[in-house]
Amino acid sequence: MHVLIGGARVEFWRTSQVKEKFMADFPYTSVAGKLKTFLDKIPETGVPAKLTQQELAARGFKSTNDRTILSVLKALALVGTEGSPTAHWQSYRDRSTNRALLAQLIRTAYADLFAVYPDADRKSDADIRNFMSSKTKAGERAILYMVQTFKALAGMADFGAAPVEVASQEAGPSGANVAQRHVPSKGGMPQVHVNLQIHLTDMDDEKKIDAVFRSMAEHIFGKEREA
């Protein structure tokens, strides 16, 4: 659907159209051969606050095409949507387990592919290309880059290694990604974390606010209401 807002033509997509247009595509870079060089540098260099074009250049990736590496890192959840390294980036610095970690991240990023081919990392270029071309409306060159990107990543990963503990990623208050680990309680039962959100408006008076918190104290913390 298209509408005019302030003389500008604005296009709106239905949910089904958005999924069809964007969610079927696979991450790719036009410089797949440089992925290994980039990933090999992660254990050797510090963790940047944000992976910007300037940071890429500082790491030796100065061409315009090198910037396409960032989209692959985001797809692997090594970098968050805002460009900040995630807990996975920190974990990848461990050379003893990073190839196994990469395999897990690849399986997640390419879940549809591995659902069809559990041994996708060993499939031929033609098999991967046929699968991807059936899932995307991208052109031939983009599909070629998708295949090259997947094969380059798979070639660096250890799919036969024991699973590595992977921290879940959750956006923090500033949009940065933080790790959450589920730690068993002392009694052996898993802890339950409740995220309670209270929405108050400027129209709510102090008595109403006090009543909300007294009710919380009674029902959540087991404290009796004060007389």
Helix (H, G, I), strand (E, B) or coil at 131: helix
Its pTM stands at: 0.65
Per-residue pLDDT tens digits for 71-112:
999 999 999 999 999 999 999 999 999 999 999 999 999 999
Residue 149 has pLDDT above 60, yes or no: yes
22 burial via Cβ count (<10 Å: 0-12, 13-18, 19+): exposed
DSSP state of 81: T
pLDDT score at 55 = 94
How far is Cα 84 from Cα 74, in angstroms, rounded to an integer?
9
More confident residue, 11 or 40: 40
Residue 2 has pLDDT above 60, yes or no: no
pLDDT band at 165 (very low <50, low <70, confident <90, very high): confident
Chain Cα centroid distance, residue 153: 16
Residue 127 has pLDDT above 80, yes or no: yes
More confident residue, 205 or 159: 159
pLDDT score at 176 = 41
pLDDT score at 18 = 37
Mean pLDDT over 115-141 rounds to 96
